[in-house]
Amino acid sequence: MADVFTEVMHEKSDHKVKFYGLSTCGWCRKARSFLDENGISYELCYVDQLEGDERKAILEEVSKLNPRKSFPTIVVDEDEVLIGFNEDRYMEVLL
């Protein structure tokens, strides 16, 4: 499977951040804005823009992290999972 993530580079790279979102989701836009405004680098995957086996594989990955499969789902340093948009929680984990 081709890499479905796009790297978004900023000045802060102290955390490995994987962002699973939907291109049409307002909460995903808020979460991306938080990352961008705080200069946090991340890998981005818009699940709704994938097709076929790639989409199926990513949805399986998301469901292991977040059984409700809601978006955004953000993985920090491969062990912390942030679900939805909660600015206070984002600040606590990422800043």
Residue the block writes with tokens 């995957």: 45
- The pLDDT score that the predictor gives to residue 2 is 60
Give the pTM: 0.95
**Domain boundaries of the chain, sorted by first residue:** 6-94
Which residues, 6 or more positions from 41, have their beta carbon under 8 angstroms from its beta carbon? 7, 8, 9, 10, 11, 12, 13, 17
Q: What is the pLDDT of residues 12-54, one digit of tens each?
A: 999 999 999 999 999 999 999 999 999 999 999 999 999 999 9
Q: Was domain 6-94 assigned CATH 3.40.30.10?
A: yes
Please state the rounded mean pLDDT for residues 80-86: 98
